[in-house]
Amino acid sequence: MQPQLKSKVRCADREVGEVTKVIMDPLSHDVSHLVVSMNGSGERQVSIGAVQTVTEDLVQLRSSSSEVIALPPFKREDYVTLHEVEIPGLERHIHVESGEVLVPLPELERNVKRRTFFANLTYVTGLFIGLPLVYPVLKFLMNPMYASLDNRWLKVGNVAKVKAEDVGTQFQYKRRVKEAYMPESEIEKNVWVVKATPSVLEKVYQGKDMEFRDSAGKPIWTNKKDVPFLAFSGKCPHLGCGFKWRNHKVLGPVFLCPCHLSIYDASGKVLDGPAPRSLDLMPIQVSSSGEVQIIDMEFKAGTKSQTRIV
Ligand code: FES
């Protein structure tokens, strides 16, 4: 039985409040957390793993009331309601009464918030008002906007991490970025590496090596059609969310994007969902000692053709 909104919540020692929201996992379609209103002391997000039993109007937790009170306050801004984001098929798994059913805010939209758009806009407006005075400084600061794309190789890990063929393995790496007038910062990124069987390689390369060129059209690298390692950019070509390697009930192991449920096979080909193109391949090389290097590339999301932006 799924926990119901408005059900009372009891800890091991006493009643602490009632369920005000239910959070669903967009991938498994199961309830992942409850949001409990603590009798006037704010809301706490309680993992479904802490639930012992559920009856029609009571959720019994294993934890004590002091453990629940000690949880960090619930952050409503990290979630959206099912009215704001469409997760196909999720309704079939929801049996809670009508009320606020939430899913995590897609990663892309979180990033936009974090960029504190309006704060930056204020700085830019100020700069433009004083443009005649600050032109030399502005020119210097804006220079990175026109810098050519970075085609340096980045080490992301060792290929020993890849345990099986035609399976997505995530490698994380850090990269220093300088966006226009913002100070340089370090961001975490990820790339999915697949050790591909010949049939998957054939699907990807269709018998031809893949050449990558810089913005001036000069060749920078060629992925050879018979080298079994593929590197896919960690951003979904639909709207740029991070996707995962998951076992789909019908399709088996696939890349699945939780934001709007685009599904890709191990070759990056779209099997389902709104994605306009296959996953984006990046230049990859693997040394004799197994060190994996990539050239970090990002492409414009939402378009059928590939346009490199990073
Ligand atoms: S961002 Fe929409 S499906 Fe991935």
User: Which backbone phi and psi does 25 adopt, to 5 degrees?
Assistant: -85, 115
Note the pLDDT of residue 180: 60
CA of 223 to the centre of ligand 1 (A): 26
pLDDT of the residue at 198: 97
The 10 Å CB-count burial string (b at 16+, else e) for 132-147 is: eeeeeeeeebeeeeee
Superfamily per CATH, domain 148-295? Rieske [2Fe-2S] iron-sulphur domain (2.102.10.10)
pLDDT of residue 53: 92
Return all residues near 98 (Cβ < 8 A) that are at least 6 apart: 5
Which CATH number applies to 8-105: 2.40.160.60, 3.40.50.2300, 3.30.930.10, 2.30.30.240?
Answer: 2.30.30.240
Residue 246's closest CA among 263, 269, 271, 268? 263
pLDDT for res 200: 98
Every domain of the chain and the residues it spans: 8-105, 148-295
3 state SS of 49: helix
Which atom, in ligand 1's list, is nearest to the CA of 260?
Answer: 3
Averaged pLDDT, groups of 10, the chain, 310 residues long: 84 92 80 89 91 90 92 86 63 61 66 57 68 61 63 96 97 82 83 98 97 92 97 95 92 93 96 95 97 96 92
**CA separation, residue 294 to residues 52, 106, 147, 190, 307 (Å):** 47, 26, 20, 11, 18
Q: pTM above the 0.85 mark?
A: no
Query: How close is the Cα of 184 to the center of ligand 1, in Å?
Result: 28
User: Is 242 a pocket residue for ligand 1 (Cβ < 6 Å)?
Assistant: no
Of 262, 270, 271, 303, the one to substitute when testing ligand 1's pocket (max ligand atoms within 8 A of C-beta) is 262
301 lines ligand 1 (CB under 6 A): no
